[in-house]
Structure 1
Amino acid sequence: MNEEWGPQEEEPEEHEDEAAEGENIPWIDMPDLSDFYSASLPSVHESLVNPLTSYYEQYNDLSRILTEAIRTWPVPRVVIPDLGLTAAMESIHSQFADLTRFNDAIRQALQPYTAAAFQAARWQNLFSSITEAARSIYPENLRELAPSLDELEPLLVDEGIPLMWVPGPGTARDLLAAPDAAARRRLIGQRWKGVTNDCEGILDEIRHPALKDARGFALDVVSALRDGHTSAAQALAANLLDSLLQRHFSKALRIKLTKNDFKEKGIRFELDAYKFKVACTFAPVWYAHARYYPADGDPIPRTFGRHPSAHGVSRLQYSRINTIYALMLVTTVVKFFDTELPR
């Protein structure tokens, strides 16, 4: 028998209880969910910018008025008449007095505008600071795009496309610009290799010690997918997603973020109900938890779902494109915990 394929001595598998004695598993345990609630991004933006808008518009109006005033102001010219010396001097004195009055008038007229210009520079710095602060809430792949919640909602809530940290900025831009859900799904399917690379890049950045195993399993999903073992990759990703939520969320919060009653009650995931990062990370997780009861005759969905991945194994549910969705979900959730778990 070929030694390479013969019986091999394996290391004994370690069996652990839910939490080994003395193990400290970080939890985001917030029974009242208060830390996850927040005003919507548009509301926050309006509360900061709206009080300043009138000043900024006033500055622009004043600038236009000043430009027109300078262009049309009748500036007196100094003309020495052909008179005697005394008369000429008196004329010059008179015209210089006119010029002095003109200069005073100009200075007085310009005073509010120069003050406005000074204030405008301060406003401009403030507006720049606000813009930078608004952009800072986005992960790197969305920072230059800075999409609004209205732009994000169809992709996150209606289609379950993860957009936090992955995919890369180019694919994220094209997904936001695509005309419909079918085009977006095709785009993800066509760029699956690049999206897989994007996920691997983010997973390589994970450093929290409590996520070491999760990171390793997520990278196993990447390897299995690249090697063509898409079914194995999807099954692992679906179960890893469930394990992450079970381990790092309280029961109340886990139920709140994953309870998907849309089919039965038409209740949608409310992006405005949570902080921006939470809303955008877990809206696709909520979508993936759409109810599926095979005992009730529910048809197996074509899009990725956590429940059909576990209870509706089939060629319809298991596919490479669904594996990509599952990998993106796991990547965004692991990255979320990497940024939020206490160290």
Structure 2
Amino acid sequence: MTDPVAAAVSAAVRNVGNADWSSLIQPFDVSRFFSLNFKDIWWTSAPENLRPLRGKVELFAIYDIIGSEGLPLVPCPRPDVVLELMEATDTRARRAVLEQRAPEVGEDCDDVFVGLQDSPHAGRYVAFARDAVVAFRSGAHSSAQAMVSALTTTILDEMKKSFDAVWRAARYRGEGDDFPEILDEAPPYEYWVLAPLWHAYEKAVAGDLVDKWGRHSSIHKVSDVHYNVANSVVSLMFLAALLDFIALGSFADV
């Protein structure tokens, strides 16, 4: 079906003097226009690991899990793992998926790190990231999680002098803060990193350790509650997302 607005504009351009400009304000379904075209554009330019999921998962569902749970889903893991995570019924079920698919996710993260070795912005961190993968593969998941948490802290400390308001909102999370509205305004390639980053800085207090990976908890609240396979997997996924973003050169000083 021809878009009535596009047709009217085309007619007006062909015959400016005699064009019926009232035709430009014919009613049309704005919601349908944006829902169809935005999704088409988004999926066409989506990260490689998400493109195969077109038609299998809803776009808003991907954003919801990344935003509500802080689960990094870009640029890894592989599509079938992402699909399994999306189909899981709740957070606990998703953590079970991560535990079951841990070896594959670890390989996916390592593939990302290897691909960034020559990056002028992210390359110098790759050797440390791959050391974490070595520990992970050997079954030393706590060592991998500790290494990733320390490396993440180093990277973010080096980045902070270049932070804009959006990054500051994600990095400097106060106790009890709600998810910042400003993060919702970030472009997708930043949102993939910013939402998990905000969750990673959730501050755990004594007796209330969060059962999800957090940079803050990993550094300041070491315990067998927080150090586990699922959290180790998530930490590697976040590091892959962070380094992949840094490689874009958005932070020139990094």
Q: Which amino acid aligns with 1:255?
A: R
Normalised to the residue count of structure 1, the TM-score between the two structures is 0.57
Counterpart of 2:135 in structure 1 is 224
Return the offset for 1:229. 1.7
Deviates most, 147-156 or 317-326: 147-156
Residue 21 of structure 2 aligns with which residue?
none
CA distance 1:53–1:276, change in 2 (3 Å) = farther
RMSD (Å), alpha carbons: 2.8
Structure 1 residue runs without a partner (length 5+) = 1-51, 57-127
Q: 2:152 aligns with which of 235, 241, 258?
A: 241
CA distance in 2, matches of 1:142, 1:270: 24
* Cα distance in 2 for residues equivalent to 1:226 and 1:257: 30
Equivalent runs, 1:149-228 vs 2, <5 Å: 149-206=59-116, 207-228=118-139
**Contact 2:183/2:194 (8 A) holds in 1:** no
Percent of aligned positions with the same letter in both sequences?
Answer: 26
Give the aligned partner of residue 26 of structure 2.
Answer: none
Query: 1:183-207: per-residue Cα shift (whole Å, max 9, x none)?
Result: 1111111100000011111111113
Q: 1:192 to 1:249 in 2, by over 3 A?
A: same
- Of 154, 169, 172 in structure 2, the residue corresponding to residue 256 of structure 1 is 169
What SS is found at the alignment partner of 2:115?
coil
Structure 1 counterpart of 2:196, one-letter code = P
1:200 alignment partner AA: D
Cα offset, 1:252, TM superposition: 4.3
Letter in 1 for 2:220: H
Task: Give the unaligned 5+ runs of structure 2.
Answer: 7-35
Deviation at 1:53, TM superposition (A): 4.8
Distance 2:195 2:231 in 1: 17
Q: 1:192 to 1:229 in 2, by over 3 A?
A: same
Q: Give the total of aligned pairs.
A: 218
Q: Deviations for 1:127-149, whole angstroms, at most 9, x for unmatched residues?
A: x9977643243110012324655
Deviation at 1:257, TM superposition (A): 2.1
Which structure's CA Rg is the greater one?
1
CA distance in 2, matches of 1:325, 1:170: 16
Say if 1:328 and 1:269 are closer, same or farther in 2 by CA, change over 3 A.
farther
Q: What's 2:224 paired with?
A: 315
What are the equivalent positions in structure 2 for 1:10-159 lying under 5 Å apart? Answer: 53-54=3-4, 133-146=41-54, 149-159=59-69
Shift of 1:329: 0.4
In 2, the alpha carbon distance for the partners of 1:338 and 1:191 equals 27
